[in-house]
Amino acid sequence: MAPTPPTPSTAASAPADPLAESRERTQPLLFRCGLAFLLPLVALNLWEGRVLQASIVAVLCACLGLNLWAVGRGRPAPVSFALLLLPGLAAMWLVVEKRGPTGLFWAFPAALFFYFSLRRSVANACVGLMLAVGVWRAWDLIGGDVALRFALTLGALVGVMNLILSALARLQERLAFEATRDALTGAYNRREMTTQLAAAVDRQRRHAHPATLLVLDLDHFKTVNDTLGHDAGDRVLQGLVGLVQARMRRTDTLFRTGGEEFVLLMPDTPVPEALTLAEALRAQIAAAAWLPDRPVTASVGAAPLQPGQDVNAWLRAADQALYAAKAGGRNRVVLSPSATHTGPTVNAGTSP
């Protein structure tokens, strides 16, 4: 039975901060909206003689203005968003004491600001602190009925925001899965291969870590599709991926790069170890019973990463080894001629 391709939940964990990528773009807008909302309140409080409240709101405006100036010049915001909670709480405290329930209204736009500008865990902590302070002051100065209503409504906002962020995280997880995985087999796709091979090249240049590529291509696979149909071909491809994933190490990564061609990246792997795995895979594929009364074999090209090679040269070396395996009769493993290796360069099975 063909293996089931991995689902997004098993392929990657949900992002802890689904708004992280968009936050940099939305920061200037948040700062401008905050200033547009708060500056009139500074003027209003000064007009009505509430100097302390005006001063606290002015501090918030100054922090937002400083952050907007820095971000506009490509620099990180110098004032942490979490620190803005302190003058915000002070302003809410004063308004509750002087004007009653209207001070509690500050908590709702502040909560939205925190959720859009901070990681969810930090935003929950900030809003939780606002909720505790608001309920405490409202209970003491206004009454339990108002405190309870405030707690319920702000708590509902927290719940809704967490539901929205969880849905966004699941959507991002799904999109990331579909962007990097082959839909039929669950193996990674060519786009992801380019990224991971570039990372392996960088590790080799920086730390001289070895790495080896195996290119696997099913022999005469077109005849399977032509004679038995694409459903049979799909079962073979899924069976191959299941076999390789069961045999490879946790640090290895399998990519589907063509119809019946796959690439196995083996980081921190010298040539002898890679050839041992390649021969084991070749033998297991030949022995697999994916199709009734019809054996399936694969040719394998192996290429270690050479000093100074880039991704394209590394792939070309592995492809050349694969072509040599095909030309030599198929159902065999061939090491790239450019590789530095003292052992055998060809391990052959019985060609069908």
Residue with tokens 């990519």: 255
Distance, CA of 264 to CA of 252 (rounded, Å): 7
Q: Side chain identity at 68, as an amino acid letter?
A: L
Task: Give, in degrees to the nearest 5, the angle at Cα 284 between 279 and 289.
Answer: 155
Q: Of the listed 97, 192, 260, 273, which one is catalytic?
A: 260
Q: Reduced to 3 states, what is the DSSP secondary structure of residue 322?
A: helix
Write the CA distances from 322 to 171, 190, 253, integer angstroms.
39, 18, 19
Write the CA distances from 209 to 199, 206, 226, 304, 307, integer angstroms.
11, 8, 43, 11, 10
Distance, CA of 68 to CA of 77 (rounded, Å): 7
Distance, CA of 70 to CA of 28 (rounded, Å): 10
Q: Reduced to 3 states, what is the DSSP secondary structure of residue 199?
A: helix
| Residue 235, CA atoms < 13 Å, CB-side half-sphere | 14
Nearest to 330 by CA among 295, 300, 303: 300
Task: Give, in degrees to the nearest 5, the angle at Cα 289 between 288 and 294.
Answer: 110
CB 74: neighbour CB atoms within 10 A? 6
Nearest to 259 by CA among 202, 288, 221: 221
Q: Reduced to 3 states, what is the DSSP secondary structure of residue 289?
A: coil
Distance, CA of 295 to CA of 312 (rounded, Å): 33
Alpha-carbon 39 to chain mean position: 39
Residue 261 annotated to the active site: no
Q: Could you give the residue numbers annotated as active site?
A: 260
